[in-house]
Amino acid sequence: MTRGEHLRNLVLLGACAVALTILPHALTVYRRSFVLFTMMYVVLALSWNIISGFTGYTSFGHVAFYGIGAYACAILVADYRWHWIPTLGVGAVLAALIAVVIGYPVLRLKGPYFAIAMLGAAEGTRVVATVWDSLTHGGLGISLPSAETSLETYYAMVTLMLVTIVVAYGVGHSRFGIRLNAIREDEVAAEALGINATLYKLAAFTLSAVFPAVAGGIQAYKVLYIDPPAVFFVQITIAMALMSMLGGKGTVIGPIVGAVILYTAQELTWVNFPTAHLIAYGLFIVLVARFMPRGLVGLAIDRGWVRKGMIH
Amino acid sequence: MDGCSFVVPRGKISGLIGPNGSGKTTTFNLLTGLLEPDGGQVIYNGENLAGLKPYQIFRKGVTRTFQVTRIFREMTVLENMLSVTGLGVPERVARQRAEELIAFVNLGHLRSEYGGRLSYGQQKLLEFVRALMTDPDLILLDEPAAGVNRTLLQHLLDHMHRLQEQGKTIVIVEHDMNVIMNHCERIFVMDYGVKIAEGPPAEIQRDERVVEAYFGRRR
Same domain, B46 and B108: no
What fold is seen in the domain A3-302?
ABC transporter involved in vitamin B12 uptake, BtuC (1.10.3470)
Pairing of strands B194-199, B47-48: unpaired
Q: Are A246 and A258 in contact (CB under 8 A)?
A: yes
pLDDT for the residue numbered A150: 78
- So where are chain A's domains? 3-302
Rounded-to-10 torsion of CA A244, A249, A250, A253 = -50
Q: Which member of B70, B86, B112 has the closest CB to residue A309?
A: B112
Write out chain B residues lying below 8 Å of A193, CB-based: 55, 58, 63, 83-84, 130-131
B192 & B212 share domain: yes
| Nearby residues of A72 by Cβ (< 8 Å), 6 or more positions away | A87, A90, A91, A94, A213, A217
A146 exposure class (CB count in 10 Å sphere: 0-12, 13-18, 19+): middle
> B158 and B113 share a domain?
no
* B78·A179 Cβ contact <8 A: no
B56 with B82: CB under 8 angstroms? Answer: no
- Whether B78 sits inside 8 A of A194 (CB atoms) is no
Q: Which sign does the torsion angle of CA B42, B44, B46, B50 carry?
A: negative
Q: Is B79 on the interface with A (CB under 8 A)?
A: yes
Name the residue in chain B with its Cα closest to that of A179: B83
Residues of chain A with Cβ-Cβ distance to B76 below 8 Å are 308-309, 311
List phi, psi (to 5°) of B186. Answer: -140, 140
Q: What is the pLDDT along chain A (312 residues), one digit of tens a residue?
A: 678 889 999 999 999 999 999 988 888 888 899 999 999 999 999 999 999 999 999 999 999 999 999 999 999 999 999 999 999 999 999 999 999 999 999 999 988 999 999 999 999 999 999 999 899 988 888 998 877 677 899 999 999 999 999 999 999 999 999 999 999 999 999 999 999 999 999 999 999 999 999 999 999 999 999 999 999 999 899 999 999 999 999 999 999 999 999 999 888 877 777 777 777 777 877 888 888 888 999 888 888 888 888 888
The CA distance from A301 to B26, in Å, is 39
Question: Are B108 and B59 within one domain?
Answer: no
Residues of chain B with Cβ-Cβ distance to A186 below 8 Å are 70-73
Q: CATH no. for residue B30?
A: 3.40.50.300
What sign has the CA pseudo-torsion B131, B136, B142, B147? positive
| CB-based contact B123:B110 (threshold 8 Å) | no
Q: What are phi and psi of A143, to 5 degrees?
A: -100, 135
| pLDDT string in tens for chain B (219-residue length) | 888 888 999 999 999 998 888 899 999 999 999 999 888 889 999 999 998 999 999 999 999 999 889 999 999 999 999 999 988 899 899 999 999 999 988 899 999 999 999 998 899 999 999 999 999 999 999 998 888 888 888 888 998 999 999 999 999 999 888 889 999 999 999 988 888 889 998 888 888 888 887 777 655
Give A172-207 pLDDT, tens digit per residue.
999 999 999 999 999 999 999 999 999 999 999 999
Contacts of B165 (CB under 8 A, 6+ apart): none
Distance from CA of B178 to the nearest CA of A (A): 29
Which residue(s) pair with A82 in the sheet? none
Give which of A175, A199, A57 is closest to B79, Cα–Cα: A175
**What per-residue confidence (pLDDT) applies to A1?**
63
Domains of chain B: total: 2
* pLDDT at residue B84, as a whole number: 94
Residue A192: the pLDDT is 94
- A86: closest CA of chain B, how far (Å): 33
Establish if B60 touches chain A: CB-CB under 8 angstroms.
Answer: no
Tell me whether B85 touches chain A (CB under 8 Å).
yes
Interface test with B, best of A193, A251, A294 (most B CBs within 10 A): A193
Residue in chain A lying closest to B140 (CA): A192
Q: Do A312 and B78 touch (CB under 8 A)?
A: yes
Check residue A29 and give its pLDDT.
86
Sign of the C-alpha dihedral, residues B174, B97, A178, B87?
positive
For residues A207 and A212, what is the distance between their CA atoms, to the nearest angstrom?
A: 10
Range of the domain at B184: 1-65+136-219
A260 burial via Cβ count (<10 Å: 0-12, 13-18, 19+): middle
Shortest CA distance to A211 belongs to which of A95, A83, A59, A76?
Answer: A95
Contact A185 B86 (CB under 8 A): no
Cα–Cα distance, B59 to A199 (Å, whole number): 15
Of A242, A290, A285, the C-alpha closest to A262 is: A242
Residue A88: burial class (beta carbons within 10 Å; 0-12, 13-18, 19+):
buried
CA–CA separation, B177 vs B183, rounded Å? Answer: 10
Spatial separation of the C-alpha atoms in residues B193 and B191, rounded to whole Å: 5
Interface test with A, best of B28, B32, B55 (most A CBs within 10 A): B55
A127 HSE (CA, 13 A, CB side) = 6
Quick one: three-class SS letters along chain A? CCHHHHHHHHHHHHHHHHHHHHHHHHCCHHHHHHHHHHHHHHHHHHHHHHHHHHCCCCCCCCHHHHHHHHHHHHHHHHCCCCCHHHHHHHHHHHHHHHHHHHHHHHCCCCHHHHHHHHHHHHHHHHHHHHHCHHHHCHHHCEECCCCCCCHHHHHHHHHHHHHHHHHHHHHHCCHHHHHHHHHHHCHHHHHHCCCCHHHHHHHHHHHHHHHHHHHHHHHHHHHCEECHHHHCCHHHHHHHHHHHHHHCCCCCHHHHHHHHHHHHHHHHHHCCCCCHHHHHHHHHHHHHHHHCCCHHHHHHHHCCCCCCCCCC
pLDDT at A148: 66
**Distance (Å) from the alpha carbon of B218 to chain A's nearest alpha carbon:** 42
- What per-residue confidence (pLDDT) applies to B204? 87
Separation CA A156–CA A170 (nearest Å) = 21
Of residues A185, A191, A197, nearest to B75 (C-beta): A185
**Cross-chain residue pair A308–B113, CB shorter than 8 Å:** yes
Q: Report the chain B residue with the minimal C-alpha distance to residue A197.
A: B55
Output Rg (C-alpha) for chain A, integer angstroms.
19
For residues A247 and A257, the answer to whether their CB atoms sit within 8 Å is yes
Interchain CB distance below 8 Å, B55 and A308: no
Residues of chain A in contact with residue B65, where contact means CB-CB under 8 angstroms, are none
A185–B112 C-beta distance less than 8 A: no
Q: Considering only CA atoms, which of A53, A294, A40 is closest in space to residue A164?
A: A40
Same domain, B117 and B153: no
Q: Does B54 touch chain A (CB under 8 A)?
A: yes
Neighbours of A268 (CB within 10 A): 12
CA angle B92, B94, B97 (to 5 degrees): 105
Q: Domain end: B79, B97, B130, which one?
A: B130
C-alpha span between A128 and B85 (Å, rounded): 43
Alpha helices in B39-149 (DSSP H): 54-59, 77-82, 91-104, 120-130
Q: What is the pLDDT of residue A303?
A: 87
Q: Is the dihedral of CA A297, A303, A305, A306 positive or negative?
A: positive
